[in-house]
Amino acid sequence: MRILLVEDDAVLRMAVRDQIVADGHSVDWVQRIGEAGDAVLAAAYDLILLDLMLPDGRGLDFLKARRVAGDVTPVIILTARDQISDRIAGLNAGADDYLVKPFDLFELSARIRAVGRRYGGNPNPLVRIGDLDIDLAARTLRRAGKPVRLTAREWALFEAFVQRPNVLLSKAQIEEHLYSFSDEVESNTIEVYVARLRKKLGSDVIETVRGLGYRLGVPAGSN
């Protein structure tokens, strides 16, 4: 996923960023509502992590404005406001989840994965493709019953295809999904990761559509 973190606390921002990156996601960080507005116009995000109290205004107003504009990007609110009325207001404004500070970073990871599954059209974390058994919640994978270890970036790429099984993804779309503005991406980075996945999971797990991009293939053992 490519995630936008809207948070003005530098210490919390670093902790959340490190957790997100360790999970294989990319993250862009801004600390003001105005900057968040610019960011969502410049990039397509899979998720927004949104603080409610920001230097130039309320995160809730930003969320309401995005929903009025037709933006359906999932949003998880991260805030110290722990009253039931605050939670209700956030969810009614269009938030998909609400996490009260201080929170456990591993719980944040779990909630990010859950929101990703819901918006990917498959809330069931258990997926079978050919001889591949995938647990999206546990981030584990077996091929013909044997465990396969993927790096965080390999998993992020594979998950992008699994959650969009019939979608053709261009190289540019994949790069935008996996990398933030601050990342330096080599010209052949996507090809390298696709090759690694094919080596570990089978040559037919990802199909190349020449000149257009990649999509999830039909591995051996599929009906």
CATH architecture label of 151-216:
Orthogonal Bundle (1.10)
- List the beta strands (DSSP E) in the chain: 2-6, 26-30, 47-50, 53-54, 57-58, 75-79, 97-100, 126-129, 132-135, 140-143, 146-147, 206-209, 213-216
- The domain spans of the chain are 2-119, 151-216
Summarised one tens digit per residue, pLDDT across range 111-134 is 998 888 777 655 567 788 888 888
- Position with higher pLDDT, 219 vs 56: 56
Q: Under a CB-based contact definition with an 8 Å cutoff, are residues 40 and 4 in contact? A: yes
- Position with higher pLDDT, 218 vs 1: 1
Q: Could you give the percent of the chain with pLDDT greater than 90?
A: 45
Whole-number pLDDT of residue 120: 64
In this structure, which CATH number among 1.10.260.40, 3.30.1380.10, 3.40.50.2300, 3.40.50.410 belongs to the domain 2-119?
Answer: 3.40.50.2300
Specify the pTM. Answer: 0.67
Q: Which of 10-19, 55-64, 211-220 has the lowest mean pLDDT?
A: 211-220
Q: Is 136 helix (H, G, I), strand (E, B) or coil?
A: coil
Q: Under a CB-based contact definition with an 8 Å cutoff, are residues 156 and 140 in contact? A: no
Summarised one tens digit per residue, pLDDT across range 31-90 is 999 999 999 998 888 899 999 999 999 999 999 999 988 888 999 999 998 899 999 999
The per-residue pLDDT of the chain, averaged, comes to 87
